[in-house]
Amino acid sequence: EIDADAEKRIRRKLDRRVIPLLFLLYLVAFLDRSNIGNAEAAGMSKDLGFNDAQFQWLLTIFYIPYILFEWCAIMWKVVPPHIWAGVTVMTWGLASTLQAAAFNWQGLMVCRWFLAMAEAGFAPGVPYLLSFFYRRNEIGIRCGIFLSAAPLATTFAGALAFGITSSRLETIASWRLLFLVEGLPTLLLAVVVFLYLPDSPDTASFLTPEEKEVARARSVLQSGKEGADRRGGFDWAEALAACASPQTWIQPLMYFSCNVSFSSLPVFLPAILSAMGYSSVNSQGLTAPPYFLAFLVCIATTYLADHTHQRGAIIVGLSVVAGVGYIILATVHSVGVRYFGVFLAAAGVFSAIANILSWVLNNQGTDTKRGVGIALLNIIGQCGPLLGTRLFPIGEAPYYTKGMTICAAFMLFNAFLAVVLRVYFMRENTKLERAEKEAAAEAESSG
């Protein structure tokens, strides 16, 4: 039996040390990944002389290595986390910063490749890393806080791009300055994460010996025998069992559906707003409010799901909200109403993804199963952006009806999958309860 007060102290210390650092890293990761859209709105393609089709490839190329290296999520268990994080963050920081020195399309393509390769080793596995530190009923809100860095980063990206575009410096192109300002801090954070990220709760320097014992007991309750040592090792029997479960395949399809919309919105929103009649400068600034709403909704819904244990129903609601937002963008021509649709789409998509990731971690019993679940979720789910980043060619401006309709269809499909999986979990829980009652009755009769 674990002391409740000791657990609270451990959670508070972990929340102060681990969550802010990971949140900040994902914020800069998302800035470095998605600022290509802001750079384009600031005149990048005009300066370097490439066309819309080539710009589409700058978006698509990111997701090819991002998919190929998704399996690296399991490396959080194989390699000490502080080393793995330091290497991946340093690599993508260099790739992001060097985009400012690109003088042709080919140079940007190379930078985007290495940026994606390094980010694939970091962000997709962080929810898995958090499962080393927190129990099932604690992890949802922490995943929500971590993933809420994405909409907040997009809010910041819009405001920063607005300021840089407005400054009109003559010594350096504004899009090059954007890459520098957002890339250089990542290099500093690589050193910080190497020095300060703990590998596991029972080795954290900021916990007392007594707290480490409690942390180890929490890990055993969370993952059984695997929880006794969160570092190293991979149970192939558990991995095969995870692959045999329907949820291991339904949840990646859900993630795929969300990512079709998720990947396209941040990079194309400035262009979409420009096509709605706003100037390039104003379109950069107007991206901020929808994403700040998404930041708030992401945290609120993951917190609510943790406390109500109704994560599936919440995902259904968020997916429908996003679907309605995209339907508005596909069918309505009024600028004000379309901008309202952007709020619905952004809040629904980002928050649905945060809850899907938590759902995976909550319903896999061991570290190995969670690792396999997260790896397959990302390998399959990250194929969505290969479609999503090619839905908004410039020739379909200003309404991008086809792209918006496809995004709406995928979000409604995601709602359907969430209903199917929720029904499956309810039936499995009923079977488990029945088996437990039968076992208890048999034990009582034999006794």
| Confidence (pTM) | 0.79
Contact (CB, 8 A) for 298 and 318: no
- List the one residue out of 4, 414, 16, 409 whose CA is nearest residue 207: 16
CATH number at 315 reads 1.20.1250.20
- Residue 205 sits at φ, ψ, to 5 deg, of -65, -20
Burial class (CB in 10 A: 0-12, 13-18, 19+), 360: buried
Q: What is the pLDDT of residue 5?
A: 85
Q: What is the pLDDT of residue 110?
A: 95
Contact (CB, 8 A) for 236 and 32: no
Q: What is the pLDDT of residue 192?
A: 96
Q: What is the pLDDT of residue 165?
A: 65
Q: What is the pLDDT of residue 225?
A: 52
Q: Cα separations (Å) of 367 from 39, 126, 140, 187, 416?
A: 40, 13, 16, 30, 28
Residue pointed to by tokens 């399991």: 74
Contact (CB, 8 A) for 242 and 248: yes
User: What's at 150, amino acid-wise?
Assistant: A
**What does each of the 447 residues of the chain score in pLDDT, given as a tens digit?**
677 888 889 899 999 999 999 999 999 998 898 888 878 878 888 889 988 889 889 988 988 898 888 888 788 888 999 999 999 999 999 999 999 999 999 999 999 999 999 999 998 889 888 888 888 888 889 999 998 998 888 777 777 777 776 667 778 888 898 899 889 999 999 999 999 999 888 788 888 888 888 888 887 776 555 444 555 556 777 778 778 888 889 999 999 999 998 777 765 676 667 666 666 556 667 778 888 999 999 999 999 998 888 999 999 999 999 999 999 989 998 888 888 998 999 999 999 999 998 888 777 667 778 778 888 888 898 888 888 877 877 788 778 889 899 999 999 999 999 999 999 988 888 887 787 777 777 766 665
Exposure letters 91-128 (e unless 16+ CB within 10 A, then b): bbbbbbbbbbebeebeebeebbbbbbbbbbbbbbbbbb
Q: Cα separations (Å) of 377 from 124, 252, 285, 357, 361?
A: 9, 4, 33, 8, 11
Residue 290 domain boundaries? 4-227+236-446
Provide the number of structural domains found in the chain: 1
Q: What is the pLDDT of residue 189?
A: 96
Contact (CB, 8 A) for 312 and 359: yes
